[in-house]
A and B are shown apart, each in its own frame.
Chain A
Amino acid sequence: MIQNISIKNNDFKLHPSGAIYWEDKKMLLIADVHLGKVAHFRKHGAPVPANAAYKNLEKLTEISNHFQPETICFLGDLFHSKLNEEWQDFEKWTEYTKAEIILISGNHDIIPQYLYEELGIKVFDELLLDDFLLTHHPTEIKGAFNLCGHVHPGIKMKGVGRQYLRFACFYKTLNSLILPAFGNFTGKHILKPSEMDTVFAIVDGEVICVSKK
């Protein structure tokens, strides 16, 4: 169910939750969780089921228990909007988690940086680790491979008999890998790959390469 890929002699595990485990750095990469989105909607009078909010943290716990990473790096849009009650649950989660936590700030991350720092979370605009550039928005730098989020990538598959299916995916180009959105209350943006791109779709709990046959 997990896809192993190698980039610049580093090993990565693509997990069906949408997270990536970077073996060489023992680092878990997660993009676009959008915590607090449910509460944000509810606060503004849109009654999204409150239970949907807890699922994200459950998923985070499961995945970190599974890989036991040394570092968890969020590639932006960790929190959907302003501070709300989901922050308290997130606080508890950080206390419970043994790994060091890093946040690469995204366009949705408007919560003051010091609040993260009080929880021991380091916040960066971007981070260059060896030849790997970690960002929220897809970013090109010469010589570096970009790991990023923001796009919520999805793809459309076509079959005989006018069949179409859409899936969230890991989207790899020559110099970048875009992670799917991890959050459960997030949409996806359908991309049209070129021949050069590699696409790993998340299908029913499996990560399947759909671009090369």
Chain B
Amino acid sequence: MKQSELISIAEDWFQSKNWKSFPFQQKTWKAFLNGKHGLLNAPTGSGKTYALWVPIVLQYLKENPDYKTKHKKGLKAIWITPLRALSVEIQQAAQRFADDLGTGLTVGIRTGDTSQSERAKQKRQMPDLLITTPESLMLLLASKGYDKTFKTLTAIVVDEWHELLGSKRGVQMELALSRLKTVSKELRIWGISATIGNLEEAQDVLLGMDSEFRKNAVLIKSNQKSKVEVRSIIPKKMETFPWRGHLGLHLLEEIVPIIKASKTTLIFTNTRGQCEIWFQKILEKHPEFAGEIAMHHGSIGKETRLWVEQAIRNESLTAVVATSSLDLGVDFAPVETIIQIGGPKGIAKFLQRAGRSNHRPGEPSVIYFLPTHALELLEASALKRAASEEVVEDRIPYLLSFDVLIQYLVTLAVGNGFFPKEIFPEIKSTFCFQGITEEQWQWCLNFITLGSQSLQAYDEYKKVEVTPEGLFKVESRQIAMMHRLSIGTIVSDSMMLVKYVSGGFIGTIEEWFISKMKPGDTFVFAGRTLELVRIRQMMAQVRKSSKKTAKVVSFMGGRLPLSSQMSKILREELQSEADHKRNTPELKALSHIFDRQERESIVPGENEFLIETFKTREGYHALFYPFEGRFVHEAMSSLLAYRISLLSPITFSLAYNDYGFELLSDQYLDIQTVIDNNLFSSEYIFDDLQKSLNATELARRKFRDIAVISGMVFQGYPNKVIKTKHLQSNSQLLFDVFRDYEPDNLLYLQAYRETFEHQLEEGRLRLALERINSQKIIWKQCEKPTPFSFPIITDRLREKLSSEKLADRIKKMTLQLEK
């Protein structure tokens, strides 16, 4: 069949549905059929699934002209999705097209939710299209004979590539692709990405360093502009609206009319805990919603999640309180309205959420922004600008993530086993490991075989073994099983299953939460009040309770930082305030707070850098306001604290948010000395930062993920209670042992490097310092905490840094007694 004939088959099908194909879809079809790789830049809901699924099917028709009578077996394509929730949508869309054309092609799903029996069935006979996650793909590479499974593969599509790109799951994908390129000779690699600042780089990372792949690739942009209208929910009484907080419940009543006015509303929260609380509170205040609202987050059982997703499609729900678990891809046509509670921190995430609401052609998507504290209105004002100016962020790919590499190598060793000389060129061809040296490679091989760099006397270290032929292989079944259970790069706290005593799975919660409870205590989870009956292994058995409790299940979860683009807009918004323009409704609403800030301190203008000091019961506070986003503040606070601590022995506790940071001490800090000693200098920042990192716990915290991903800490697995007796340890302990006994360990060093490259963003820090040096420093000695300082000084998540002797410090401290 000629290409034009194939294309017209697809066009006819579109017509039969009363649709018209978009130019970007046709472009993608042709590029694919011409054997190209590429990256498709298209937003959700634009028809991106058909842009790539159609040519995969057409390619099959081309190669199998008698497809109507004879079905050629074997896996044809893999569709990678970062979220399990997306897979059903894609499966339905793909199956519809395959069936209507009478191809006999099958579409299957394989994720963490897939049952054991279904997996076994798939292993015997793979579907033609497999929809899966990066982790499940890795698990396939950990099974024997995977090369035969993937031999027939013609395409791999990585959906939502922008989501994976800036994370270690992205690295995992790069490694998997490097293997598939060799195993599947006919492979085309395609990515789908929302708009980000570094699309070209995103394509390079996806395709790797091989010039063959890069030369033969295209970047296709859909050019579909989605218009977004941002509406802030401004408190009627600003005077009583809190200065800090993250729940936003004060404005609960404001969203009720919004919910009632539309068919289906999605309410996005930033954490699972916040999601639980909002759901609970809405029902408490408005029992009339009972049965009409639901909750969706990643820790709720699969059955419930799928039920909620289906109910959204059926329009049987008025509102759903959700977290990022409903962020991506899923196209829920009935959704009319989106409400975002609290700052989304990133523009892309915000716009993506906005895009979840219904798209009538020509009409903008509407998203309501509900601030959780007063200064967040500033963020709302900034988001509006970002939306109208179409500002986009970069996603920065990881480099040399040895933890992910080590996990991958053990994965290969668990599967078929591998020969290093075959695998090394593949590794080296990935974007992440393009800079890996022979020595580092050898180090990784030694690490997985010897557990160190030289053979130790009587050592019983066992993980990967080397056969006489030189094949690297895991022989122990226990190690293989433990490794399979540990595959992944998302590190969470130890999870516990929550089940009714009578049976019936409710969901999973973090172990630390349940460990604080005694049998008989009650808590709220998944919208139900539950009483803890007992803890059995990794399972919390509960029963329903009618008691009232304020204890809502909470999760550790990370905090999202503002992107640099977002912080710039935020700074500009603030400066427009300093010039007394107050030209947006949000800024107008904030006027009494700004007035108070002006009265007690100042609102810094474009050329001013504000430092505030004041004393409270807690000690001496020094507040700095660079408005550079959380990550930069994290770095700058530890850099500055370190430099000050060199002047004289002092101890600091550090706090930061997206606006500024605080150095809190039990000693008075003279800001004039900081200015006189030129401590904001951008000279020697690399060196000073390195030293300040040693003094703080930042790298130690990074090490936690690295230790888990590289298999040094075994997390166990909620669904399978395995005996890990005597193998419990924590990454903190390991970090100390490495520091004391193996400080040149690449994984230990990686903790520092990552803190630098990702967490601290050295480049941004330098720019921020240079900007401060060109500004006028204004030091305000205040009477009491100012409105700007409030959200920061009340933050409990703190870093510490000290140059005092422990024995001196302990003399000033008191023992924490039983309450």
Give A residues with C-beta under 8 Å from B. 37, 39-52, 55, 80-81, 84-85, 88, 108, 155-165, 167, 184-187, 192-195, 199, 201, 203-204, 206, 208, 210-211, 213
Known contacts A47-B451, A208-B807; A194/B813 CB under 8 A: no
B733 touches A185 (CB 8 A): yes
Residues on B with C-beta less than 8 A from A208 are 807, 810
Of A45, A155, A184, A206, which contacts B711 at CB under 8 A?
A45
Chain B residue nearest to A190 in the complex (CB):
B816
Known contacts A51-B741, A160-B618, A204-B805; A46/B714 CB under 8 A: yes
Least CB distance from B460 to A in Å reads: 4
Question: Considering the chains assembled together, what is the distance between the CA atoms of A203 and B815 in angstroms?
Answer: 14
Chain A residue nearest to B712 in the complex (CB):
A46
Known contacts A50-B451, A211-B815; A163/B809 CB under 8 A: yes
Chain A residue nearest to B617 in the complex (CB):
A160
Least CB distance from B740 to A in Å reads: 7
Question: Considering the chains assembled together, what is the distance between the CA atoms of A84 and B725 in angstroms?
Answer: 16
Residues on B with C-beta less than 8 A from A187 are 729-730, 732-733
Q: Mark B478-512, 1 if CB is under 8 A from A, else 0.
A: 11001100000000000000000000000000000
A40 touches B818 (CB 8 A): no
B805 touches A199 (CB 8 A): no
Least CB distance from B577 to A in Å reads: 30
Question: Considering the chains assembled together, what is the distance between the CA atoms of A49 and B732 in angstroms?
Answer: 14
Question: Considering the chains assembled together, what is the distance between the CA atoms of A171 and B651 in angstroms?
Answer: 27
Least CB distance from A183 to B in Å reads: 11
A41 touches B729 (CB 8 A): yes
Chain B residue nearest to A162 in the complex (CB):
B653
A-B contact count (CB 8 A): 156
Known contacts A40-B726, A161-B651, A161-B666; A50/B456 CB under 8 A: yes
Residues on B with C-beta less than 8 A from A44 are 462, 478-479, 482, 727
A45 touches B816 (CB 8 A): no
Chain A residue nearest to B448 in the complex (CB):
A47
Cβ of B213 < 8 Å from any Cβ of A?
A: no
Q: Mark B799-819, 1 if CB is under 8 A from A, else 0.
A: 010000111011011111111
Question: Considering the chains assembled together, what is the distance between the CA atoms of A85 and B741 in angstroms?
Answer: 19
Q: Which residues of B, 445-489, contact A by the 8 Å Cβ criterion?
A: 447, 451-452, 456, 458-463, 476, 478-479, 482-483
Of A51, A195, A203, A206, which contacts B742 at CB under 8 A?
A51
Question: Considering the chains assembled together, what is the distance between the CA atoms of A74 and B631 in angstroms?
Answer: 48
Q: Which 8 A-B pairs have the closest CB atoms?
A: A161-B619, A47-B451, A160-B666, A49-B741, A45-B463, A159-B813, A85-B458, A157-B813
Question: Considering the chains assembled together, what is the distance between the CA atoms of A45 and B482 in angstroms?
Answer: 10
Cβ of B674 < 8 Å from any Cβ of A?
A: no
Known contacts A49-B737, A49-B745, A159-B812; A43/B462 CB under 8 A: yes
Chain A residue nearest to B665 in the complex (CB):
A161
A157 touches B653 (CB 8 A): no
A43 touches B461 (CB 8 A): yes
Least CB distance from B213 to A in Å reads: 35
Question: Considering the chains assembled together, what is the distance between the CA atoms of A37 and B733 in angstroms?
Answer: 12
Contacts A155-B815, A158-B813, A193-B815 aside, 16 further interface pairs with beta carbons under 8 A come to A44-B462, A44-B478, A45-B482, A48-B451, A50-B459, A50-B461, A51-B742, A108-B726, A159-B812, A160-B619, A160-B812, A161-B620, A187-B729, A192-B816, A201-B810, A210-B810
Known contacts A40-B726, A42-B460; A192/B817 CB under 8 A: yes
Counting chain A CB atoms within 10 Å of each CB, the highest count among B620, B711, B810 belongs to B810
Interface of B is mostly: loop
Cβ of B141 < 8 Å from any Cβ of A?
A: no
Residues on B with C-beta less than 8 A from A199 are 815
Residues on A with C-beta less than 8 A from B771 are none
Cβ of B513 < 8 Å from any Cβ of A?
A: no
Least CB distance from B84 to A in Å reads: 29
Residues on A with C-beta less than 8 A from B652 are 161
Instruction: List, sorted by A's number, 18 A–B pairs whose CB atoms are closer than 8 Å.
Output: A43-B460, A43-B462, A44-B479, A45-B462, A46-B714, A46-B727, A46-B729, A49-B737, A49-B738, A157-B813, A157-B814, A161-B666, A163-B666, A185-B733, A192-B817, A199-B815, A204-B805, A208-B810
Known contacts A48-B712, A49-B741; A88/B458 CB under 8 A: yes
Of B476, B618, B725, B807, which contacts A161 at CB under 8 A?
B618
Least CB distance from A161 to B in Å reads: 3
Of B452, B482, B817, B818, which contacts A47 at CB under 8 A?
B452
A41 touches B727 (CB 8 A): yes
Residues on A with C-beta less than 8 A from B460 are 39, 42-43, 84-85
Known contacts A47-B712, A204-B805; A163/B733 CB under 8 A: no
A45 touches B479 (CB 8 A): yes
Least CB distance from A93 to B in Å reads: 15
Residues on A with C-beta less than 8 A from B459 are 39, 42, 50, 85
Residues on B with C-beta less than 8 A from A161 are 618-620, 651-653, 664-666
Q: Which residues of B, 590-627, contact A by the 8 Å Cβ criterion?
A: 618-620
Least CB distance from B409 to A in Å reads: 13
B737 touches A185 (CB 8 A): yes
Cβ of B734 < 8 Å from any Cβ of A?
A: yes
Question: Considering the chains assembled together, what is the distance between the CA atoms of A51 and B451 in angstroms?
Answer: 12
B461 touches A42 (CB 8 A): yes
Q: Which residues of B, 424-455, contact A by the 8 Å Cβ criterion?
A: 447, 451-452
Cβ of B544 < 8 Å from any Cβ of A?
A: no
A81 touches B726 (CB 8 A): yes
Question: Considering the chains assembled together, what is the distance between the CA atoms of A167 and B807 in angstroms?
Answer: 12
Residues on A with C-beta less than 8 A from B815 are 155-158, 193, 199, 210-211
Known contacts A46-B727, A81-B726, A193-B815; A159/B809 CB under 8 A: yes
Residues on B with C-beta less than 8 A from A164 are 800
Least CB distance from B654 to A in Å reads: 10
B817 touches A195 (CB 8 A): yes
Of B483, B651, B714, B742, which contacts A163 at CB under 8 A?
B651
Residues on A with C-beta less than 8 A from B814 are 157-159, 213
Question: Considering the chains assembled together, what is the distance between the CA atoms of A199 and B813 in angstroms?
Answer: 14
Least CB distance from A48 to B in Å reads: 6
Chain B residue nearest to A166 in the complex (CB):
B816
Chain A residue nearest to B662 in the complex (CB):
A162
Residues on A with C-beta less than 8 A from B714 are 46
B462 touches A159 (CB 8 A): no
Question: Considering the chains assembled together, what is the distance between the CA atoms of A39 and B460 in angstroms?
Answer: 7
Cβ of B588 < 8 Å from any Cβ of A?
A: no
Least CB distance from B305 to A in Å reads: 34
Chain A residue nearest to B818 in the complex (CB):
A192
Of A50, A158, A163, A203, which contacts B807 at CB under 8 A?
A203
Question: Considering the chains assembled together, what is the distance between the CA atoms of A162 and B806 in angstroms?
Answer: 16
Least CB distance from B91 to A in Å reads: 37
Q: Which residues of B, 704-736, contact A by the 8 Å Cβ criterion?
A: 711-714, 725-727, 729-730, 732-734
Chain B residue nearest to A195 in the complex (CB):
B817
Residues on B with C-beta less than 8 A from A47 are 447, 451-452, 461, 463, 712
Least CB distance from A105 to B in Å reads: 16
A42 touches B816 (CB 8 A): no
